[in-house]
Amino acid sequence: MRGHGLSEPGPRSGVGSMAKDVLEFLEQQAIDKAHLGGYSMGGGVTLALLSSSPERFLSAHFGGLGIPETSEWADKIP
């Protein structure tokens, strides 16, 4: 992912650009369809990919996306 580790900083449109990076990688590796998983920021990238190119993915997993819980939902969790 751009801007992580020793990679170059990413553009302001980070999630959209990272989704394009994933599609480009799949093309370069000649991968027609893949299982997809994203954690934290990667969850946003996963969502962007499923929105733009759902036909490229066999399944998807979201983890730790950081969507805040509403008080109504939080009250239901023991």
**Read out DSSP for the chain?**
-TTSTTSPPPPSSHHHHHHHHHHHHHHHTT-S-EEEEEETHHHHHHHHHHHH-GGGEEEEEEE---PPPPHHHHTT--
Smallest Cα–Cα separation from 32: which of 52, 58, 51? 58
Q: For 1-55, what is each residue's pLDDT tens digit? A: 777 778 777 666 678 888 999 999 999 999 999 999 998 888 888 989 999 999 9
